[in-house]
Amino acid sequence: MWQVNFLFLLELAGRGIATFPTQLIFQTPGGQALENLAVRPSSKLLITSTAFPTLFTLDPTAANPTLDEVFTFPNASALTGIAEYRPDVYAIAAFVFNSTSIMAAPGSVAIWSLDFASGGTPTARRAARIPQSILPNGLSTVPGQPDLVLVADSILGEAFEVNVRTGAVRVLIQDVTMTPIGPNGPAPPLGIDGLHVHDGLLYFTNAQRQTFSRVPLVNGTVETLASGEFDDFTFDTEGRVWVATDPGGLTLFTPLKNGTFEQKLVVDTVLNGTSSAAFGRNGARETKTLYVTTRAGQLVAVDTSGGDA
C-alpha cells in the first residue's frame, strides 16, 4: 500500500497557456511508472503499470488516498491498456515485458477481463491471446459493440480487434502512419500509442512519428490532425480531446464547425512524463476532474471546470 496526499496549484497566466487548478493526488515512493487508468462508476480508479503485473485501485476522493492491489495477472510482468467494455467490466492488456528490447516476450500477450459487476471480489478470466503481438499499448472499446475492444501494437503499427467473449483476434487496421520510424527516429522506437473510437472514427497517437491522427473504422484514409509528443488521451462530453503531451503537459483539441480542431497547450511543466488521462464519474465535480498518470509515478487531478480553455 502506498500513501501520499498534498496539493499544489500552478498559475500559468502570461505564458499563453490556460490556467487550471492542479492537484497531486498520489506519488509512488520509488517513482514507479503509472501507465494507464480507467474510472469505475464509483469514481474509484483502476491503474496499470509497466513495472508490475498487478492492477491497482485508488479512491481519489479519499482524504488520504492509497494505492491498493486488486489483482495480479499470472504469466505477466507488465500491464498497459485498460478499458471498460461493459458496465464495471474491464479489458486489460498483460504480458511479459523485456525492458531492454522494449518488447513483449514472444507469445506472452494476453487480454484479460476483470468483472466487478457482481460485487465483492472481481472475477478474472483470460479473454484472448495475441501471440503475434510484439508490444501492446493503448486499448479502446468500440461503441455499439460491447464484446469488442481494440488493442494498439506499438511495434507492428497495427490495431487488433479482440472479441472478449469468443477470444477471436484479427488485425482491424494496419497503416504506415501507425508504425514507428525505426532506429533513425527519436527514442523510444514506438509507433501507435493511445487509441480511442469516437463517432465512428479511430483516433490514435504515434509516439515516434509524433502525430495525432484519425481514420474511419471502415474503408478510410488516415488524416493527421497535429504534430507533437503525444501519448494517450480522452474525450470529454463536449467532444474535446485532452491529450497527454511530453515532457509534462496536456494539449486540448477543440472541434470546430469545419471539421478541424483548435489546438492549445493547456497545462505545461506540471507533470513528469504524462502517460494517460481519464475523467471522473459519479457527480458533477468528478465529471469535470481529469485524472492524469505519469511515467514518474504521479497521479494528478486537473480541474477542468474553469480555466482559460
Tell me the pLDDT tens digit for each residue of 185-202. Answer: 777 789 999 999 999 999
Same domain as 3, residue 105: no
- Position 247 confidence tier, pLDDT thresholds 50, 70, 90: confident
Same domain as 17, residue 133: no
Report DSSP state, residue 268.
Answer: -
pTM for the predicted model, two decimal places = 0.92
Cell of 86: 461493459
| Alpha carbons 50 and 111: distance in angstroms, whole number | 15
Question: What's the confidence (pLDDT) of residue 268?
Answer: 72
CA 155 to chain centre: 17
Residue 128 lies in a domain: yes
Same domain as 222, residue 83: yes
Q: What is the CATH number of the domain that holds 159?
A: 2.120.10.30
Residue 111 lies in a domain: yes
Domain count, the chain: 2
Please give the C-alpha separations between residue 79 and each of 50, 131, 230, 250, 254, in angstroms, as whole numbers: 5, 16, 20, 23, 31
Cell of 193: 500509442
Which of 143, 147, 151 shows the shortest CA–CA distance to 198?
Answer: 143
Question: What's the confidence (pLDDT) of residue 8?
Answer: 32
Q: Which of 227, 253, 272 is the last residue of a domain?
A: 227
Residue 66 lies in a domain: no
Residue 58 lies in a domain: no
Please give the torsion angle defined by the CA atoms of residues 80, 204, 115 and 110, in that order, rounded to the nearest 10 degrees.
-50
Render pLDDT for 295-309 as a digit per residue (tens, 0 to 9): 999 999 999 987 555
Tell me the average pLDDT across 125-134: 98
- Position 16 confidence tier, pLDDT thresholds 50, 70, 90: very low
Q: Are residues 45 and 72 in contact, defined by beta-carbon separation less than 8 angstroms?
A: no
Residue 43 lies in a domain: no
Q: Which of 227, 256, 274 is the last residue of a domain?
A: 227
Cell of 237: 462530453
Same domain as 116, residue 198: yes
Statement: residue 4 has pLDDT above 60: no
Question: What's the confidence (pLDDT) of residue 189?
Answer: 87
Residue 172 lies in a domain: yes
Q: Which long-range contacts (CB under 8 A, 24 or more apart) does 243-249 make?
A: 243/194, 243/205, 243/212, 243/277, 244/194, 244/274, 244/275, 244/276, 244/277, 244/292, 245/274, 246/273, 246/274, 247/272, 247/273, 248/272, 248/273, 248/274, 248/294, 249/274
Statement: residue 217 has pLDDT above 90: yes
Question: What's the confidence (pLDDT) of residue 207?
Answer: 95
Question: What's the confidence (pLDDT) of residue 123?
Answer: 97
Question: What's the confidence (pLDDT) of residue 308?
Answer: 54
Same domain as 208, residue 308: no
Range of the domain at 133: 73-227
Render pLDDT for 29-84 as a digit per residue (tens, 0 to 9): 989 999 999 999 999 999 999 999 999 999 999 999 999 999 999 999 999 999 99
| Alpha carbons 133 and 106: distance in angstroms, whole number | 8
Same domain as 237, residue 187: no
Q: Which of 171, 203, 227 is the last residue of a domain?
A: 227
Please give the torsion angle defined by the CA atoms of residues 259, 257, 83 and 5, in that order, rounded to the nearest 10 degrees.
130
Q: Are residues 236 and 279 in contact, defined by beta-carbon separation less than 8 angstroms?
A: yes
- Position 270 confidence tier, pLDDT thresholds 50, 70, 90: low
Residue 157 lies in a domain: yes
Cβ neighbours for 201, distance < 8 A, ≥ 6 positions apart? 214, 215, 216, 217, 220
Statement: residue 101 has pLDDT above 50: yes
Report whether the peptide linkage leading into residue 247 is cis, meaning its omega lies within 30 degrees of zero: yes
Residue 50 lies in a domain: no
Question: What's the confidence (pLDDT) of residue 307?
Answer: 57
Report DSSP state, residue 284.
Answer: H
Same domain as 189, residue 290: no
